[in-house]
Structure 1
């Protein structure tokens, strides 16, 4: 009896530079974020290669906090920078490039009002935090085309079992 197997369907490769529309799932702000924190993104628009769906809506991508500066006293606003890492697909990870940066608004007028109302303690009034808001979307790009998947290796099975040598020298 001959067993036949169907080869796995290969996911089309994504060429370098392919745009990927991504959406932030959970708000990240300069007040709570730390350098190196990773966060999840969602693919917001499908990607088709030669008419075949290569990346469906809802696929997961990952980003990382690349820079963070907390908001400070005297109305100083926070800063936040993030970079894209990769896209998770059933066929493996696809590297992405791109990033996002935001600067929180300063609060000069608030500081003046706080000094008038609270005296010198009003100088402790901080500015706004920088943030990546849930639902914000931006475009990243495929960084490098992943290598094609290696075909399954074929192992030849000998037709007769191997026999050990019976002669052992004393």
Structure 2
């Protein structure tokens, strides 16, 4: 009987000891959220023009300035973002203007996509004067003179905005030091 009681006490004591040695998981930090409407500065990587683009085409941009929240870089410079062509209208004849409309989709942050809003509308230059002069000089063939294409040039800076309060990446990168530090 004493042996059974000693065994029970030993099992209970071991149970308490095991419970005391188990590591306690630290509380998860509160998720930071990028606020709705927070600006994200982007740069177009490759020219997109109304002559070659068509509705539905996607194009690449890159983050041109870090997105910092609470002193921590949440979206680093160089992160890839995507846009989509909504309307692409070629110049056509008779000096017409090209038209290009695009919308921003998302940025690929270190821990996932962050949806963006924002759009760009570009219009090429008309060439009515050139058409009139061409008609005078070349007759009906002058009507084939075209206007300018609409263009998003490589290196153009556009601004996107966080569409919904988006979760900030879980693994933030330290913010770069200020110029005065």
Q: What is the TM-score of this pair, normalised by structure 1?
A: 0.79
Moved more, 114-123 or 24-33: 114-123
Which of 128, 137, 146 is the aligned partner of 1:117? 137
Deviation at 1:62, TM superposition (A): 0.3
Which residue, out of 43, 54, 59, partners 1:23?
A: 43
Looking at structure 1, the residues matched to 136 and 145 of structure 2 have their Cα atoms a distance apart, in angstroms, of 12
Q: Deviations over 1:59-86 (max 9, x none)?
A: 1110000111110111001100000000
The residue that corresponds to 1:84 in the other structure is 104
1:133 aligns with 2:135: no
Distance apart, 1:145 and its partner CA: 2.1
Unmatched segments (≥5 aa) in structure 1:
151-170
* Residues 1:61 and 2:116 aligned together: no
Q: CA RMSD in A?
A: 2.7
CA distance in 2, matches of 1:16, 1:44: 19
Change (3 A) 1:25 1:125: same
| Shift of residue 17, structure 1, vs aligned partner | 0.9
Structure 1: distance between partners of 2:128 and 2:53? 24
Query: How many residue pairs align between the two structures?
Result: 150
- Structure 1 residues 87 and 10: CA distance shift in structure 2, 3 A: farther
Distance 2:43 2:169 in 1: 28
CA contact (8 A) 1:21 1:44 kept: yes
Which is greater in Rg?
2
- Which residue among 18, 27, 34 is the counterpart of 2:54? 34
